Amino acid sequence: MANSLEFNDVGKMFPGVRALSGVSFKAESGKVLALLGENGAGKSTLLKVLSGDIKPDEGEILIDDVQQSFSSPLESIKAGISVIYQERQLIPGLSVAENIFAGDLPGSSGIVNYKELRDAASEIIQKFGLSIDPDQPVGRLSVAYQQMVEIMKAYRRNSSIIAFDEPTASLAEAEISILFRLINELKAEGKVIIYISHRLGEIFELADNIVVLKDGQLVKTFVCSETTEDDLIHAMVGRDIGDTYANLSRNSVYGDTILEVSGLETEDIHDISFSLKKGEVLGFAGLVGAGRTEVMRAIFGADKILAGTVTFEGKEVHFKSPKNAIDAGIALCPEDRKEQGLVLFRSIRDNITMPVLAKLRKFLFLNKKDEAVLADAAIEKYSIRTPTADKIVFELSGGNQQKVILGRWTSDLFPAKLLILDEPTKGIDVGTKAEVYQMVCDYAKAGMAVIFVSSELTEVINVADRIIVMKDGRITGEVLRAEATEEAVLAMAMAGE
Amino acid sequence: MTAQKTSKFFRSKSFALIAIIIVMIIAFTLGNKNYISAGNISGFMTNISTAGLLAVGMVCLLISGNVDLAAGTEACMAGIFVATILGSGMPWPVALIITILFGAAMGLFNAFLVNVLGFMGFIATIGMSSVYKGLALVVSNGINVSISNQGFYPLGAYSIQMGKFALPLPFIYTVVLFVIYGLILKYTKFGRSIYLIGGNRNAARLAGVSIKKVSTILYINCGAIAAFCGAVSTAKMNSAGPQAISGTEMDSIAGAVLGGVSFMGGSGGLGGAFIGLFLISAFKNGLTAISLPTYWQTVAQGGILLIALVVDYFGERSRVSALKAEAAQAA
């Protein structure tokens, strides 16, 4: 069992960027070391170096003071390292047990002993106090439970170093507490734990030491008990952002009702009714899987509506596809940026101009000049960090990717009337989050109606003017910002449990 | 062209393929000097036209993340169709137009299978390919349908004489279609939509691109071009064979993928596809020129594909390392 993991002067170059330079720190067994930094600070690159996914150009990794050199992820795993990424590395069609034992199924002469497999898996599941059926296909589990399968997989491999890349990004509060319990158990067993998160609250709850990265360099190492949130934010962004929420410049004037939803039903949601005015920011809170995304998809014409009506700008509408909704002036920034939002291997420009190609047409052809102007305007407006609009979106950080989507829906050619933001701050850093909150308020000031869906309670009750709470596909409550408390909203989100 | 652009071209995929082609041409010419004779080149141009025409519709489908594995048999069916209706005494321009519509209908049926019934294009079109292969034999009774219409023959068989060299009409059709569709892909809204759908259909749909509409048009387009290809080939032979062209779509796909069109969709273009197809065809032609036994030709054809992929692989690697060096210099 390894007792320590050390990064010594690690550096990595990517085309056009220095992703890491001279990073040195040491993580010890039985402690949680948190890696903190804005988007593009180098946290993910560091993890990839650890997992053997990429090779550092300079420096070395030491386990128990012995230099390691991983030329593949397999070698890193063999050295006792497990990295649990945001995008889970599970095989959805295989069972929980098969996933936990992937690569090392029990049995002899090539034939799997399923009984032994099931028993061994059950043992691990019980050890962590979870109630998961080992025979269930992983694809049917919720995101949170899939993550727990990943943790059990790391545990099964007997990894002594376990790294988490933003594990709570798509979990709801109740699930997070189970996750933390698991991490604390691993910690008690003497594992070296590396934990990446954007959520400062979590880090104080979980971490022993904190390493802050910025622009690929190590800013400072903190001992958790001797530091404050302000110190960390200061180190991360290089400035104080003060009380983000109090400093928001909000809209106070509402216009006419723009959206009225009444008795909406789809396969996943039931009896959804609410209304929204121009200039209003309406929050949707709830646990993951409460049906908020499905409400948005139904309004946007992406899912089939079984009953109920949607009235937009005073007219009852029946959108058959997202295209109809877009033509009416509705925009949706989907929850899953990479799967639903972006065409990752196309340029920033192509991703920004997607919905307005018809308006960029001159005779038969696309007017590339106008297209470039439009893309450059969005890059400037949202200060997207890129040398040119031709850069592939895949190469941008999460925050910048989100800005590309926002840019798509707020260009001069597509001024959205209703903007639906589904988890817009998921996986982006504190500094950019504050920017996004202000953008939301600015949209409202410009007369846009905004729906703001978020699983982060603090965020949704502080940014939105009014908050609708959902559970199991139904609305369980509604509250104004002035009256909203985290406890009250959480109680509605978990009503009946 | 600026110096930077020039150096980029030398590191590009197309450059690696062109280099292979040049070496190959030299080698075959050394083996048989007739390889670069006017006669052989014009024969080569005629031959490449069949896979070339099919490739135009196919590449658009591939970029959108779809595929039509029945394209060759659709062309074959269209050949028999055009020969049959010409036999009824129909004027050839009318017959040609009806044949292209017939091809469009076959494409529409593929689109129906994929977009309405929700089958995977790969499986659905393999199925259709088998159906058409059988139907072609049933309808023709297994024998060639010959053509008596004298006006139709030149459509596929004429060449423009330029001194000693004859430029075959089918090759001109191919080049014209490559240019037109190349422009569509690069410069139109529809072309952009094809790339967006192939890159990420979910995101494209949520951004207002009608994915079903685009893929339906592409299937119809592929069927129509396949029918045109079938008609041209039938004109050239002055008869329609029940097994003509079937399987040629594999050359189109191999050439396209070799030239940088991703089988997963979202990337590549017709320029690269043409170079890839050129390589494959010129190699086949060369094997005949040096009189390699037919069985060995098949083996060698597989071999060149692998060699090209290997060269491409190393080209890609050196390109990446060059980019890295460039970045290191910039930083």
> Binning pLDDT at 50, 70 and 90, where does residue A433 land?
confident
Pairwise CB contact (< 8 Å): A17 & B266:
no
Residues 267-306 of A with CB under 8 A from B: 300, 302
Is the pLDDT score of B5 beyond 60?
no
Q: Is there a domain that residue A252 lies in?
A: no
Pairwise CB contact (< 8 Å): A408 & B327:
no
> Binning pLDDT at 50, 70 and 90, where does residue B331 land?
very low
Is the pLDDT score of B11 beyond 70?
no
Residues of chain B contacting A343 with CB distance shorter than 8 Å: 195-196, 199-200, 203-204, 266
What is residue A385's predicted lDDT score, i.e. its pLDDT?
84
Task: Quickly tell me which residue has 């889970």 as its tokens.
Answer: A88
What six digits make up the tokens of A460? Answer: 């949704």
Using CA atoms, how far apart are residues B70 and B81, in angstroms rounded to an integer?
16
- Verify that A30 and A81 share a domain, yes or no: yes
% pLDDT > 90, chain B: 68
Phi, psi dihedral angles at A405 (to 5 degrees): -65, -40
Is the pLDDT score of A239 beyond 70?
no
Using CA atoms, how far apart are residues A302 and B210, in angstroms rounded to an integer?
12
Residues 337-356 of A with CB under 8 A from B: 339-346, 350, 354-355
Is the pLDDT score of A495 beyond 90?
no
Pairwise CB contact (< 8 Å): A13 & B323:
no
Q: Of the ranges A60-74, A425-439, B216-230, which one carries the lowest mean pLDDT score? A: A425-439
Using CA atoms, how far apart are residues A206 and A34, in angstroms rounded to an integer?
8
What is residue B92's predicted lDDT score, i.e. its pLDDT?
94
**Measured between CB atoms, does A394 come within 8 Å of chain B?**
no
The residue with greater pLDDT, B331 or A13, is: A13
- Verify that A286 and A203 share a domain, yes or no: no
* Overall average pLDDT of the B264-288 stretch: 91
- Verify that A11 and A107 share a domain, yes or no: yes
**Measured between CB atoms, does A42 come within 8 Å of chain B?**
no
Using CA atoms, how far apart are residues A72 and B192, in angstroms rounded to an integer?
37
- Smallest CA–CA distance, residue B189 to chain A, in Å, is 6
* Overall average pLDDT of the B264-292 stretch: 91
**A270: three-class secondary structure by DSSP:** coil
Task: Quickly tell me which residue has 């059926």 as its tokens.
Answer: A133
Residues of chain A contacting B202 with CB distance shorter than 8 Å: 339-340
What is residue A148's predicted lDDT score, i.e. its pLDDT?
86
Residues 6+ apart with CB under 8 A from A216: A12, A17, A18, A19, A20, A21, A23, A41, A42, A45
Which of B187, B202, B267 lies at the smallest CB-CB distance from A365? Answer: B187
Residues of chain B contacting A321 with CB distance shorter than 8 Å: 205, 210
φ/ψ region of B36 (left if φ > 0, alpha if ψ in -120 to 50, else beta) reads alpha
**Measured between CB atoms, does B329 come within 8 Å of chain A?**
no
- Verify that A95 and A197 share a domain, yes or no: yes
What is residue A102's predicted lDDT score, i.e. its pLDDT?
85
Nearest chain B alpha carbon to A358: B189
Estimate to the nearest angstrom the gap between the alpha carbon of A88 and the chain centroid. 12
Using CA atoms, how far apart are residues B289 and B34, in angstroms rounded to an integer?
8
**Measured between CB atoms, does A387 come within 8 Å of chain B?**
no
Residues 6+ apart with CB under 8 A from B131: none
> Binning pLDDT at 50, 70 and 90, where does residue A361 land?
confident
Is the pLDDT score of A215 beyond 80?
no
> Binning pLDDT at 50, 70 and 90, where does residue A469 land?
very high
What six digits make up the tokens of B270? Answer: 């017709």
Is the pLDDT score of B187 beyond 90?
yes
What is residue A309's predicted lDDT score, i.e. its pLDDT?
95
* Overall average pLDDT of the B262-291 stretch: 90
- Verify that A224 and A264 share a domain, yes or no: no
Query: Helices B121-140 & B92-111, crossing angle to 10 degrees?
Result: 140
- Verify that A41 and A92 share a domain, yes or no: yes
Pairwise CB contact (< 8 Å): B199 & A345:
yes
Which of B188, B202, B324 lies at the smallest CB-CB distance from A13? Answer: B324
- Where does residue B164 rank: exposed (0-12), middle (13-18), buried (19+ CB within 10 A)? exposed
* Overall average pLDDT of the A348-353 stretch: 94
Structurally, at CATH architecture level, domain B12-28+35-323 sits in Orthogonal Bundle (1.10)
How many beta-carbon pairs under 8 angstroms link A with B? 89
Which of B192, B210, B324 lies at the smallest CB-CB distance from A366? Answer: B192
**Interface mutation target, options A321, A337, A349, A414, chain B, most CBs of B under 10 Å:** A321
Q: Is there a domain that residue A404 lies in?
A: yes
Q: Of the ranges A195-204, B46-55, B215-224, which one carries the lowest mean pLDDT score? A: A195-204
CB distance A328 to A354 below 8 Å? no
Nearest chain A alpha carbon to B321: A15
Pairwise CB contact (< 8 Å): B331 & A18:
yes
What six digits make up the tokens of B51? Answer: 């896979």
Pairwise CB contact (< 8 Å): B195 & A346:
yes
- Smallest CA–CA distance, residue B325 to chain A, in Å, is 8
Sign of the torsion angle spanned by Cα atoms B184, B188, B192, B198: negative
CB distance A437 to A179 below 8 Å? no
Which of B192, B202, B266 lies at the smallest CB-CB distance from A340? Answer: B202
- Verify that A175 and A36 share a domain, yes or no: yes
Q: What is the domain-level CATH number for residue A50?
A: 3.40.50.300
**Measured between CB atoms, does B5 come within 8 Å of chain A?**
no
> Binning pLDDT at 50, 70 and 90, where does residue A247 land?
confident
Nearest chain A alpha carbon to B199: A343
**pLDDT tens figures, A380-394:** 999 888 888 999 898
What is residue B9's predicted lDDT score, i.e. its pLDDT?
64
> Binning pLDDT at 50, 70 and 90, where does residue A487 land?
confident
Is the pLDDT score of B85 beyond 50?
yes
Using CA atoms, how far apart are residues A54 and A15, in angstroms rounded to an integer?
14
* Overall average pLDDT of the A338-342 stretch: 90
Is the pLDDT score of A39 beyond 70?
no
Nearest chain A alpha carbon to B185: A365
What six digits make up the tokens of B207? Answer: 């951004």
**Interface mutation target, options A296, A299, A343, chain B, most CBs of B under 10 Å:** A343
What is residue B4's predicted lDDT score, i.e. its pLDDT?
55
Q: Is there a domain that residue A104 lies in?
A: yes
Residues 407-446 of A with CB under 8 A from B: 408
**Measured between CB atoms, does A364 come within 8 Å of chain B?**
yes
- Verify that A175 and A302 share a domain, yes or no: no
Using CA atoms, how far apart are residues A199 and A426, in angstroms rounded to an integer?
10
Q: Of the ranges B26-40, B277-291, B305-319, which one carries the lowest mean pLDDT score? A: B305-319
- Smallest CA–CA distance, residue B316 to chain A, in Å, is 15
Question: Average pLDDT over chain A, rounded to whole?
Answer: 88
* Overall average pLDDT of the B256-268 stretch: 87
The residue with greater pLDDT, B25 or B263, is: B25
Question: Average pLDDT over chain B, rounded to whole?
Answer: 89
Q: Is there a domain that residue A248 lies in?
A: no
Which of B188, B326, B328 lies at the smallest CB-CB distance from A366? Answer: B188
| The total number of structural domains that make up chain A | 2
Identify the top-confidence range among A39-43, A455-459, B219-223, B324-328: B219-223
- Verify that A156 and A221 share a domain, yes or no: yes
What is residue A158's predicted lDDT score, i.e. its pLDDT?
86
**A231: three-class secondary structure by DSSP:** helix
Pairwise CB contact (< 8 Å): B324 & A357:
no
- Verify that A302 and A186 share a domain, yes or no: no
Phi, psi dihedral angles at A291 (to 5 degrees): 105, 10
What is residue A445's predicted lDDT score, i.e. its pLDDT?
94
CA distances from A148 to A50, A117, A159, A179, A196 (A): 21, 18, 15, 7, 16
> Binning pLDDT at 50, 70 and 90, where does residue B75 land?
very high
Helices (H), A114-270: 114-127, 143-156, 173-188, 200-206, 229-237
Range(s) of the domain holding residue A20: 4-237
Q: Is there a domain that residue A249 lies in?
A: no
% pLDDT > 70, chain B: 91
* Overall average pLDDT of the A216-233 stretch: 86
> Which letter does DSSP use for residue B221 in this model?
H
- Verify that A307 and A179 share a domain, yes or no: no
Pairwise CB contact (< 8 Å): B326 & A15:
yes
> Binning pLDDT at 50, 70 and 90, where does residue B1 land?
very low
Residues of chain A contacting B210 with CB distance shorter than 8 Å: 321, 323
Residue B168 one-letter amino acid: P
Is the pLDDT score of B249 beyond 50?
yes
Q: Is there a domain that residue A251 lies in?
A: no
> Binning pLDDT at 50, 70 and 90, where does residue A14 land?
confident
Identify the top-confidence range among A212-221, A236-245, B215-224: B215-224
**pLDDT tens figures, B122-134:** 999 999 999 999 9
**Interface mutation target, options B206, B212, B215, chain A, most CBs of A under 10 Å:** B206
